[in-house]
Chains A and B, each alone.
Chain A
Amino acid sequence: MSGSKKISRRDLLKAATVAGIGGMTLGLSKVGEAASPKEKPPAQTKSKKKILGVDVIKVGGQGVISGAHADYGWQIQSGAILAIDEINAKGGILGSKLELKFMDEELKPAVAVKNARYLATDWGAHLLFGVDSSGSAMAVGPILPELDRICVFDHASTHRLTEELVYGKGIKQIFRIAAPVYQESNLAALIFKEFPNIKRWAGIHCDYEYGYSVWALFKDTLKKYRPDVEFVSIAWAPFWTMDFSSHISAVMAAKPDAIIATPWAGEGVMLLRQALMLGVFDNIQAWFQCMGGSVDILEGISREVAAGKFKDKLWATARYIHNYPDSPENNKFVASFRKRWNRFPNYSAENAYSTIYVFKAALEKSRSLKTPDLIKAMEGLKLMTPAGERFFRPEDHQAIYSVPGGRVVTDPNYPIPILGDLKVFPAQAYYRNPPFEALKMDK
């Protein structure tokens, strides 16, 4: 079959441009989409009887609810809805009920910014929370002063959000409830400095903000304790990588002792399955899957863990794990979540659930919906949450709490794998502390 000349290359390129524009308009059109079926007019019904002055406190959330990472958006929504229903059932916050609207940020900074604007100005959100992508967080953070809203970031984990935007630039409307990249980078370094035979490290990392910061911090911290380690190979994978085989075989060519990997959600599952296929676990001593302690990954690899295919070499952490700590708060949260949604909560679910309770604690302290009052109430706030006690450090608005890392194992008490052989470090041991020095992040 030889080429038909009916379609010229110019037509194709023109077509591709139009498709690009189409994609952008798609993004635009989604901004207006309502997550809840009943749309309420933005105008507030002022109530003199309520302490906060409103009948309904509007909470606008964002997460990714489509594609390979969609489970995170689902988990964020599920955690938030659970907390809101619990609070509303007990009469709300100072007599005002909570209402949620949740939007898809599509892992696109521009979409996240449009969503935040829509939620704050058109829909009338009093409080904002989200987002999943670090790129989206870095884009939403700077517009918060203009929107005059606080936003509690419950997933996006780049250290730059709190170190640069809050501590450096003084954007006080930003708070982060989730552990930042210190969790997977510095904690991993503390765990693996104790393995004298692991000297050659390789990385398979996300080709965006998140992957760059984890790899930079991990190398930096591990090198301090272990001058003898080498970082022998690295592969970068963008969003929507459908096949990691080339990345895996490229880093394995350098014969590393261990691999640290950041692809998350569905991509993390795909990466681990393809690593198994390539016989990686016969040839390395350890694999640290940064957010591998997240429920979606544990569910996705449960067959392989049960069959012992990872040979006890797979390690992971998360920004909360459902089997730690063994506290009344956590046990109650896991039980309620499972009853309501018939699944285990991942860290996004806990982070979102606790976000709503942080809003409650802050509002009860400030007794005001005004942003400066809320900021004052949030700074230095201490609250017991399922993940343990959280403390919002006033300098950078980062919540301080500790989550362990461990080996991915099966446990007869759980239908899915859990993290076992837990390595617990106090948060102070692995969080970066102010004053912050800018980190060199070479790709």
Chain B
Amino acid sequence: MNEGKKDMETLVFQGLVGLSVSMYLWLLAAGLTIVFGVLGVLNFAHGSLFMLGAYFTFTYYGLWGVNFWLAIALSLLSVAVVGYFMERFFLRHIYHLDHAYQLLLTFGFILIFDDAVKMIWGGVAKIPPMPSFFEGTVSVVGRPFPFYNLFIIGTGLAVAIVVWLLFEKTWWGKMVRASASDREMASAIGVNIPTLFTGVFVFGAMLAALGGALGTPVRVVAPGIGAAMIIQAFIITVIGGLGNLKGAFVGAIIVGTLSAYGILLFPVFELFLIFLIMAVVLMVKPQGLFGGG
């Protein structure tokens, strides 16, 4: 139905736009899958941490006029504190219980965070300004591509590299991987599991917050934006494989870019496309693309 959709340049451009959208999804799915993989916790409130990252950034940068980069850093720290309290005082006490309890608890957190946000910031969407140094476009296949979207792609890739290095090359990462594969053994050789878990949860929370924070200049900050994103993040982890970081990265790119192509090529059933892909992956490889390895 849409004209001009077939040429290569259009596909390249649309793919690049989709890639930039993928990066927000990646930041959200990364923390979700890390917490899954290591703590064994289904954190439904992970989207709320994304939302809080956006609200804190809006407050520091949009309301108080703090420098954009500093505002993001402060926002990550603020969400880290929230994550610390969630893990240390709530989640820690239910690790040994059935997953249904974790679900109820984290679902409760969604309600608490959504209502807290409404009480503090009100229900009306907030629209912070775009920092002037991000304005402008670069020409990609002859069409204007936003500089900010390039920055988002770069940031997403950088986070992927940093996270990979952290888990593969550092002592902390080795301890995390050890306790993910055998909690008792890791504990026996002297790994302080509770502290490690708190650290992993806080790290995941900060990744979510980064996704929320980076959206503030181009999106709106409103109650429920986390819940709007979390379904996609779950789809990504299912496609990529539960608890698998590489899977989350690839899954995010699949969901983000295929949505973009769906909007271009099949506008009538674009929404259905992502669920179709998930269904196909589940049938062909039930453990997810990178799961079960």
- Using a CB-CB cutoff of 8 Å, which residues 9-45 of chain B contact chain A? 10, 13-14, 17-18, 20-21, 24, 34, 36-38, 40, 42, 44
User: Are the CB atoms of A240 and B224 closer together than 8 Å?
Assistant: yes
Residue B195 is within 8 A (CB to CB) of chain A in the complex: no
Residue B254 is within 8 A (CB to CB) of chain A in the complex: no
Residue B129 is within 8 A (CB to CB) of chain A in the complex: yes
Residue A441 is within 8 A (CB to CB) of chain B in the complex: no
Residue B176 is within 8 A (CB to CB) of chain A in the complex: yes
Q: Which residues of A contact B137 (CB under 8 A)?
A: 277-279
User: Are the CB atoms of A12 and B245 closer together than 8 Å?
Assistant: no
User: Are the CB atoms of A253 and B287 closer together than 8 Å?
Assistant: no
User: Are the CB atoms of A236 and B270 closer together than 8 Å?
Assistant: yes
User: Are the CB atoms of B146 and A232 closer together than 8 Å?
Assistant: no
CB distance from A307 to the nearest CB of B (A): 10
Per the bound structure, the CA–CA distance linking A71 and B124 in Å amounts to 5
Quick check: which of B66-74, B76-84, B184-192, B236-244 contacts chain A, the rest being far away?
B236-244
Residue of B nearest to A251 (CB): B2
- Using a CB-CB cutoff of 8 Å, which residues 244-287 of chain A contact chain B? 245-247, 249-255, 265-267, 269-270, 273-274, 277-279, 282-283
Interface string of A347-385 (1 = CB under 8 A from B): 000000000000000000000000000000000000000
Per the bound structure, the CA–CA distance linking A274 and B21 in Å amounts to 12
Residue A146 is within 8 A (CB to CB) of chain B in the complex: no
Residue A437 is within 8 A (CB to CB) of chain B in the complex: no
Quick check: which of A13-21, A44-52, A134-142, A163-171 contacts chain B, the rest being far away?
A13-21
Q: Which residues of A contact B244 (CB under 8 A)?
A: 1-3
User: Are the CB atoms of B124 and A74 closer together than 8 Å?
Assistant: yes
Per the bound structure, the CA–CA distance linking A318 and B253 in Å amounts to 38
Per the bound structure, the CA–CA distance linking A274 and B271 in Å amounts to 20
Q: A12-B42, A235-B263, A250-B267 are in contact. Are A7 and B176 (CB under 8 A)?
A: no
Residue B111 is within 8 A (CB to CB) of chain A in the complex: yes
Q: CB within 8 A of A4: which of B125, B148, B180, B282?
A: B180
Per the bound structure, the CA–CA distance linking A71 and B222 in Å amounts to 11
Residue of A3, A235, A266, A269 with most chain B CB atoms under a 10 A cut-off:
A3
Q: CB within 8 A of B267: which of A4, A12, A19, A235?
A: A235
User: Are the CB atoms of B2 and A7 closer together than 8 Å?
Assistant: no
Quick check: which of B86-94, B154-162, B212-220 contacts chain A, the rest being far away?
B212-220
Task: Tell me how many residues of B have a C-beta within 8 Å of chain A.
Answer: 82
Per the bound structure, the CA–CA distance linking A274 and B17 in Å amounts to 11
Q: Which residues of A contact B129 (CB under 8 A)?
A: 303
Residue of B nearest to A66 (CB): B123
User: Are the CB atoms of B2 and A3 closer together than 8 Å?
Assistant: no
Q: Which residues of B contact A440 (CB under 8 A)?
A: none
Q: Which residues of B contact A245 (CB under 8 A)?
A: 17, 20-21, 146, 149
User: Are the CB atoms of A253 and B4 closer together than 8 Å?
Assistant: yes
Interface string of A68-84 (1 = CB under 8 A from B): 10110110000000000
Q: CB within 8 A of B259: which of A5, A232, A246, A296?
A: A246
Q: Which residues of A contact B242 (CB under 8 A)?
A: 3-4, 7, 9, 12
Q: Which residues of A contact B180 (CB under 8 A)?
A: 1-2, 4
Q: CB within 8 A of B177: which of A1, A16, A207, A232?
A: A1
User: Are the CB atoms of B24 and A243 closer together than 8 Å?
Assistant: yes
User: Are the CB atoms of B107 and A19 closer together than 8 Å?
Assistant: yes
Q: Which residues of A contact B113 (CB under 8 A)?
A: none
Residue A308 is within 8 A (CB to CB) of chain B in the complex: no
CB distance from B191 to the nearest CB of A (A): 15
User: Are the CB atoms of B238 and A7 closer together than 8 Å?
Assistant: no
Residue A325 is within 8 A (CB to CB) of chain B in the complex: no
Q: Which residues of A contact B223 (CB under 8 A)?
A: 66-67, 70
Given contacts A4-B180, A242-B24, 10 further A-B contacts (CB under 8 A): A3-B241, A70-B222, A233-B4, A246-B14, A250-B263, A250-B267, A254-B5, A273-B127, A273-B130, A278-B145
Would you mind naming 20 contact pairs between A and B with Cβ atoms under 8 Å apart?
A: A1-B244, A3-B292, A4-B37, A4-B181, A7-B243, A9-B287, A11-B42, A70-B125, A232-B2, A232-B4, A233-B2, A234-B2, A235-B263, A236-B267, A245-B149, A250-B2, A254-B2, A266-B125, A266-B127, A267-B220
